[in-house]
Structure 1
Amino acid sequence: KPKPKPKPKPRPKPKLPLWLGFNQRNTAMEVASRCLQALLLLGLAAFAPGLKLPGGTRVLVVGGSGRVGGSTARAILRAAGAGVKVTVAGRSEVSYANARARWAADGLGVAADDERVSFTACDLNDASSMAAALRSHDVVVHTAGPFQGLSDAKVLKVLLSDLISDEERPSAYVDVCDDAELAGKVLETYGAEAEAKGVTAVLSTGTWPGASSLMAMELQRRLREEHAASTDALDFNFFTSGSGGAGATVLAATFLILGEDALTFKGGKPNRKPTCTDTRKIEFPGIGARDVQRLNLLEAWSSNRVLGVPNTQTFFGTAPFFWNALLAAMARFVPKDLLRDRGFGKALAAVSVAPVYAVDTIFGTANGIRVDASGTTADGDAVSLSAALCHDDLEACVGEAVHAFASAAATSAV
């Protein structure tokens, strides 16, 4: 009888999922702590366990009366060392007073009479006004979005200008810019000048972008060091229940993004896809399976530019389901020029806040990030790794993450 042919050796199964242990009970600070060693070796922004601003640090939070800025200010104050002072910069002292009342009511440790925080009026369109607010602070946190449609970084431009002397110039700057075109332009325009003047400037911080980018870096490191594999593709998936409690600015940014095609990279080359298309279902730990669709988010650009990953794409979904349908309908039927108009976006967000917050009370404000990385070993075997960060409150999560980035910048941990 002929000898039976030997059976081919089976290919190892892709290791999907391999969660990094991030769940709704982990704060953004804890997530970043787990990534610290790898991220420091890569020389990019990182967090440290219990990282906080040094005692005596003077922090200016531009847009601190808003949801993102207010959450950041509270996170700084809760973790602050002795003598840390926070100044909220904005146009309206009435808005600041309303924000302080809300901070006191939420029971998160910032009382109505907390003297560590104060207000200063400034106008982002007035360089002199901006310079007066910036002077004599150590750290500047810029949260006054939306950033879509802007042609320059006004705060960083003034910070580096001759309107501020070297002695009064802040030494650290972070922002929450989520627009790839603006971030790329700012990096090219001000990167060398910031370095020459001794200013540590970190762009695009927060949860996403921010923590999502750190998660992608950690997955790339694991593929390289634990599996000797390249990183061939990164998929970013984001979910926010309702508005996530993040305010009118985030709503305005979402409306503005609907006017843009979703940037992806395929084989290292940029490729544009219609926004709010290619719906798929993604599992977010602690949240469940949720529908997500294409949206133009910064991570597709940054992971290609910084990490060199040739294939990248970004997806976003919300709840309840009809919000996804409404966003898709707007992207399809509202003229692109109108959607890209900042005035229209802000006005639409202003009238949408009340009904959106009403829905938030029913569906919650949870936030989920899932990053899927796939690679290939030298033997041609496929390897897949995933990381997820889920939190029950987007507003709180963003504040903790921005605070951690600001602390890293202020303590030269970047």
Structure 2
Amino acid sequence: MAAMVRACMPLRTPPAAASSTATAPAAPSKPRSSARVLVLGGTGRVGGSTATALSKLRPDLNILIGGRNREKGESLASELGEQSEFVKIDTGNAAMLEKALEDVDLVVHTAGPFQREAECTVLRAAISTKTAYIDVCDDMDYSWRAKAFHEEAKAQGVPAITTAGIYPGVSNVMAAELVSAARSEDGEPERLRFFYYTAGSGGAGPTILATSFLLLGEDVIAYNKGEEIKLKPYSGVLNIDFGKGVRKRDVYLLNLPEVKSAHKFLGVPTVSARFGTAPFFWNWGMEAFAKFLPVELLRDKDKVGKLVKEIDPLVRAIDGIVGERVSMRVSISFISISELYSSHFYSKSILLVLKLYLQ
């Protein structure tokens, strides 16, 4: 669902450094690993957590922290050790990106929000420099623009994956597992529903706030019996049981990319996605924003960014009270082919609750 290029290849091993002919002794070079990974948005909470996790998983990697905040980037690089360094990068500058990717084996794009981004600048640069690419995009329009590069990436031999975060990403895998299980039991999926719950910012910091506000300015794309329909954002509330520790929570319709992917690639005729947060009054605020704020404001990234700066300190304070937690529930309804004429429907769900410990 998320993959644009299914083929994989090992990370390249950098060539040995050329011997120096200078008479003066050269400064000791920084230790190099077998591969270099650039994390864009590395000074943010999602990117920083990604870099930290990669460092722990593969201590041999040379991790580049890409971002605009030198102080934060160098601080994180120092924490990760000698294998890491900060690289100042503007993701909107194609020339700067291509130069940065010349000696990189993999670029991880976490510099959201992806909403209202007109160009896939990082993906273009990755294909141009033949650098493996992965992003955590959570925007429907951006993800489908990215998928349009499938043939170009394939022709260049560039592995490229979009929408590979928690949701979409892990939730897509959950959905694919449910569809596969239904069909293995002689069933045909009729309806697939994604439900997400986030306590406070869910550990993602201001990025999730900006994403949520920008999504309030988009019509919700859903599918009903194979027909694409448009619904109002943050409407259609349902009370969903997320299991022990989270219990029942209200969730609301949002325009998320996994809906279209599940319909197009998994062949499920009815698909929707809903999201809710805590404390409960945040949901009331989101409803009010969707109903009363001008759509033009909610579609303006600069204005939304300013709004987030005002609200973020309050959200962080409340996060300390309610905690930072993410829960996902993916539910499928399917009809048994062997019992088609008696119309017996079945339902299954996969539930995943994550308590986040982000750096």
| Structure 1 equivalent of residue 29 of structure 2 | none
Evaluate the alpha carbon distance shift between residue 113 and residue 300 of structure 1 in structure 2; reply closer, same or farther with a 3 A threshold. Answer: closer
Are 1:194 and 1:201, in contact at CA under 8 Å, matched by a contact in 2? yes
Post-superposition shift, 1:176? 0.9
1:153-202 Cα deviation digits (max 9, x unpaired): 100112223xx4xxxx32x21001111111112211x1111001110000
Post-superposition shift, 1:97? 3.8
How do residues 2-401 of structure 1 correspond to structure 2 at under 5 angstroms?
Answer: 56-80=34-58, 83-97=60-74, 99=76, 112=79, 114-161=81-128, 164=129, 169-170=130-131, 172-188=132-148, 190-225=149-184, 227-286=185-244, 287-378=246-337, 379-380=339-340, 381-393=344-356, 395=358
Evaluate the alpha carbon distance shift between residue 318 and residue 196 of structure 1 in structure 2; reply closer, same or farther with a 3 A threshold. Answer: same
Are 1:209 and 1:298, in contact at CA under 8 Å, matched by a contact in 2? yes
Dislocated runs of 4+, deviation >3 Å: 42-46, 52-55, 97-100
1:344-403 Cα deviation digits (max 9, x unpaired): 11111122211100000000001000000011111122111100111111747xxxxxxx
Aligned pair count? 332
With 86-95 and 359-368 compared, the bigger mean Cα shift is at 86-95
Q: Secondary structure at the match of 1:367?
A: strand
Are 1:234 and 1:371, in contact at CA under 8 Å, matched by a contact in 2? yes
- Distance in structure 2 (CA, Å) of the matches to 1:301 and 1:156: 21
Post-superposition shift, 1:99? 4.7
Post-superposition shift, 1:332? 0.3
Post-superposition shift, 1:45? 7.1
- Distance in structure 2 (CA, Å) of the matches to 1:351 and 1:320: 18
Instruction: Show structure 2 runs of 5+ residues with no match.
Output: 14-32
Are 1:89 and 1:133, in contact at CA under 8 Å, matched by a contact in 2? no
Q: Secondary structure at the match of 1:236?
A: strand
Evaluate the alpha carbon distance shift between residue 99 and residue 244 of structure 1 in structure 2; reply closer, same or farther with a 3 A threshold. Answer: farther
Evaluate the alpha carbon distance shift between residue 43 and residue 263 of structure 1 in structure 2; reply closer, same or farther with a 3 A threshold. Answer: closer
- Distance in structure 2 (CA, Å) of the matches to 1:44 and 1:149: 24
| Structure 2 equivalent of residue 7 of structure 1 | none
**RCO comparison, higher one (Cα < 8 Å, 6+):** 1
Instruction: Show structure 1 runs of 5+ residues with no match.
Output: 1-38, 47-51, 101-110, 397-414
Are 1:215 and 1:371, in contact at CA under 8 Å, matched by a contact in 2? yes
Post-superposition shift, 1:292? 0.8
Post-superposition shift, 1:124? 1.9
TM-score (norm. length: structure 1): 0.76
Q: Secondary structure at the match of 1:60?
A: strand
Percent identical? 37
TM-score (norm. length: structure 2): 0.87
1:309-335 Cα deviation digits (max 9, x unpaired): 110001100000000000000000001
Q: Secondary structure at the match of 2:213?
A: helix
- Distance in structure 1 (CA, Å) of the matches to 2:314 and 2:55: 31
CA RMSD of aligned residues (A): 2.3
